[in-house]
Structure 1
Amino acid sequence: MIHNISLPPGDFGGPYIDDLFMGRLDPNAHPYFADIAALRVSSHYLIRRDGEVITYVPEDKRAWHAGVSSWQGREKCNDFSIGIELEGADDVPFTEQQYAALEALTREMFSRYGTLPLVGHSDIAPGRKTDPGPYFDWERVRNFAS
């Protein structure tokens, strides 16, 4: 499952995504953080703007990235999906380095599990989530995933 994230929204770099996923986000570090600091949120992977891939949760463990969700009739997508966050936002194109890292990561996962469906957060939580957003190049990703 593909997501996007930036903390604070629209800002890239810095420690705040790590802090959120590790449960140590300081609610006083930015006004936006007061509402999200207590959330239990994680992802299996984060791909930074420069293509660095960070692992937070092993693939065989549940990460808390999907929220209230459903895919092909199955509820609770956290129970059966792998979350990949791209550092970004709905209104910003992703970088070449991110697509290259995403390709390498998905190819490696497919070598272990077989071809898996690639979906966006918006696909499993329509009306509630919009990521990875309109700038995400689904055609490009589906070409390297096939």
Structure 2
Amino acid sequence: MHLQIENGWLTKAKHVPSPFFDARTDKEDISLLVVHNISLPPGQFGGPYIEDFFMGCLDPNVHPFFEVIHKMGVSAHCLIKRDGEIVQFVSFLDRAWHAGQSSFAGRERCNDYSIGIELEGTEFIAYTEEQYQSLTLLARAVMQTYPLITPTRITGHQFIAPLRKSDPGLSFDWVKFRHQVNADL
């Protein structure tokens, strides 16, 4: 399977446009891919809660943790669910609100120039083979469309905000992922 991007959107993905984005300062400067993780409620998989969160309609009465986060106003460009399904929330041409205070190679404000991909998961539970396959296909499509992003410009949230974040965590197999991304390049 091959993924394509047209006008900032994956052609073969579920599109759930989030209200939490704004214009990039420079659409020619898309030069970093950031891998994250998320699970809602924490440590639980499945259900509509991640999509609800990125859409700003998470019901705070469903779970005590939702009371804390339901008004946060955050998004990622894409989510890869446990079964490998890709959901896109924000056009790659726009700035998603995923990295927060961050720095890569000495450059601040990673949201300005990065694409954020969330994996449904936690730092301590292995990601699925389907997620690695989808992430590899997505990363290759992103690198083909936005050539400033190379395999060396793919990183984890934990590396751009090391004192604040720990995702995608120890459970993410960077060696495996980098091998898959670099195969046949």
Residue deviations 1:103-134 (CA, integer Å, cap 9, x gap):
11111111112243110000000021000010
Residue deviations 1:22-80 (CA, integer Å, cap 9, x gap):
01111111100111011011000000000000000000001010011111111111111
1:103-114 alignment to 2 at 5 Å?
Answer: 103-114=136-147
Partner of 2:13: none
5+ long unaligned stretches in structure 1? none
Moved over 3 A (4+): none
Q: How many residues align?
A: 146
- Aligned with 1:62: secondary structure? strand
1:2 aligns with 2:38: no
- Which of the two has greater strand per residue? 2
5+ long unaligned stretches in structure 2? 1-33
Task: Give the number of the structure whose alpha-carbon radius of gyration is greater.
Answer: 2
Partner of 1:142: 178
Q: Percent identity?
A: 55
Q: Give the counterpart of 1:13 among 42, 46, 62.
A: 46
In the TM superposition, residue 144 of structure 1 has moved relative to its aligned partner by 2.3
1:109 partner amino acid = V
2:174 partner amino acid = W
* RMSD of aligned alpha carbons: 0.9
Rounded to whole Å, the distance in 1 between the matches of 2:141 and 2:114 is 16
Rounded to whole Å, the distance in 2 between the matches of 1:41 and 1:22 is 9
Q: Give the counterpart of 1:126 among 162, 168, 178.
A: 162
- Aligned with 1:38: secondary structure? coil
TM-score by length of structure 2 reads 0.77
1:28 partner amino acid = N
1:60 partner amino acid = L
TM-score by length of structure 1 reads 0.97
Tell which deviates more after alignment, 103-112 or 86-95. Answer: 103-112
In the TM superposition, residue 20 of structure 1 has moved relative to its aligned partner by 0.5
